[in-house]
Structure 1
């Protein structure tokens, strides 16, 4: 198992490096967030042993469960899935970055809960670039107003943007989505120079090479690291 994991991680790193070089970028600018939603805590621990410091979970309950099992290990935890407001209360002190800030109501609840805990939540604004009804996130035309309002929340630090491309047969078909977010992010950053909106979380196992070519700084990789069945379900 560990040999398979080591080989998969090495291959992902190689592909990221190649994609970054094609775009004239430094591969070190790209952070791998290993998505552990399909794997046991023991397998997640093996990923940490292989040098993957950042772990991502879709659900708050699973994040808390794995975090407890892996206490003492140097993991940086990301919440990458849709976040319900009634789950925010569990996150102070538990998560380094929320990738899925997708509503004003959620932003206010995050700020309220983290302020009460004496902390600040770092978060990415989820943008539904593709316009798919099945996906969460702000429409591109809504983001500017949200940024202007959310920057006033005392315990919320906006750090950039996240998007999910449509599931397509060929990764190249996702390129316009990533390119559009990169372009829009540059405009939003120019309009809000006081904010550091430099993180672009885009690209998953099926399209991360294209995402890196288009400027992604964080890729959310699950099956390309852990295999389709995750070396064992949780």
Structure 2
């Protein structure tokens, strides 16, 4: 099924590059996610990656180094069966979150590493720019609606869905070039948000210091 969708994204006064030039008029295609991703079979069998290279997936921070993010490694005694995650690979974690009861889908934008068998790792096909996969599923409602019919929850609230089964849902993607440009646009937004958050934090600290000096 082909969906005709017109796009025009532009934000003025924010220092963002206009992604509408050139304007994309190609239809977005409704297909199954397996038409864009394939399950990875790459394992850490040769122990090429150590426990200091174990990755975790956070709803807010994305794919992160476990030690740097959580302060320690939670790896098992052996990491031979852990999946290798290359830069650009997509990860589906079956751990439920409050906003995402069926798990989350993120793209590894950092260094390569390994993940436990609780994670499903996917390689992109030639028609896929994987940062866009994360952008697409950043919307909680879209992510939950996609995963809900695919996932069965066990008695212990564990997710029962195979790696290939998680790819059988329908999505609607543009072509690879437009995927890239949209991903770059949203990354600029993230960078801008981070910049202003840092400025806000600095101003709040400055205000606190001035108030303390005022009443000395």
- Which structure dedicates a bigger proportion of its chain to helix? 1
User: What TM-score do the two structures reach when normalised by structure 1?
Assistant: 0.25
The structure richer in strand per residue is 2
**TM-score normalized by the length of structure 2:** 0.26
